[in-house]
């Protein structure tokens, strides 16, 4: 960090439709705490003309110091219409943050958590079983891949790499009901700027976790 102390860069990843007020609150809170906030809703994600929109977003995930993901019942845009298995940009951003093991915090709307629990109880547990279903177009829950995203975030999905619950790290996803709930979580996690900064210094180097021997993984 330079003499003026560079601000910690936090990438806020989410869809926008329906949560504009929450995003406005999150942006106001984080900037007031001293962070450099990268958020597409506010037009503050670094954009370069030699990259696609996807590339700019994913590069921002790579370059940020901290990552805040918000999972809502709206899956978002960015899928290839010719490829039904393609992922939204928000889904890709969160997967990128997980893959890079970025210091990350995640929120999920309670409707996402409820939908997953309901389908599990009806016998449609896991991505494979949910693929048997076809979701009718509606204004409440836009795509069943939202549940896939939630399970990716909690590291709870059908994968050979899935580890036992008591061994998972970085899998905390906070359920929220209202904008107030989301704001409280963000405020409580990020208002101690110096503590967050020390956490990054002690455990990460350029967003990459330190190994026990002092090197980077």
Domain boundaries, the chain: 9-160+170-209
Q: Who contacts 200 (Cβ-Cβ below 8 Å, separation ≥6)? A: 8, 65, 66, 103
pLDDT tier for residue 80 given thresholds of 50, 70 and 90: confident
Structure tokens at 131: 């693929």
CATH number for 9-160+170-209 (one of 3.90.105.10, 3.40.50.450, 3.40.50.720, 3.20.20.70): it is 3.40.50.450
Which are the contacts of 157, defined by CB distance < 8 A and separation ≥ 6? 126, 127, 148, 151
Q: How confident is the model at residue 206 (pLDDT cuts 50, 70, 90)?
A: low
Mean pLDDT over all residues of the chain?
A: 87
- Give the pLDDT of residue 8: 96
DSSP states along 139-159: SS---THHHHHHHHHTT-SS-
Tens digit of pLDDT for each residue in 15-36? 999 999 999 999 999 999 999 9
Q: Token digits for 65?
A: 């110091």
Element (H, E) at 112: helix 110-121
Structure tokens at 20: 């504009």
């Amino acid at each position: 960090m330079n003499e003026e102390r560079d601000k910690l860069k936090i990438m806020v990843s989410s869809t926008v439709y329906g949560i504009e007020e929450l995003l406005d609150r999150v942006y106001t809170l984080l900037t007031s705490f001293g962070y450099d906030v990268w958020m597409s809703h506010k037009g503050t994600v670094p954009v370069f003309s030699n990259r696609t929109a996807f590339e700019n977003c994913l590069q921002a995930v790579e370059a940020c110091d901290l990552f805040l993901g918000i999972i809502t019942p709206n899956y978002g845009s960015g899928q290839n219409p010719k490829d039904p298995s393609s992922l939204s940009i928000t889904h890709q951003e969160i997967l990128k943050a997980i893959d890079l093991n970025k210091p990350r915090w995640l929120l999920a709307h309670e409707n996402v958590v409820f939908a997953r629990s309901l389908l599990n109880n009806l016998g449609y547990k896991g991505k494979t079983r949910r693929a048997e279903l076809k979701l009718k177009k509606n204004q409440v829950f836009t795509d069943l891949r939202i549940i896939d995203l939630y399970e990716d975030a909690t590291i709870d999905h059908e994968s050979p790499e899935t580890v036992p619950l008591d061994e998972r790290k970085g899998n905390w996803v906070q359920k929220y009901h209202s904008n107030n709930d989301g704001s409280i979580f963000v405020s409580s996690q990020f208002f101690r700027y110096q503590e967050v900064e020390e956490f990054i210094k002690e455990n990460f180097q350029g967003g990459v976790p330190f190994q026990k021997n002092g090197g980077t993984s």
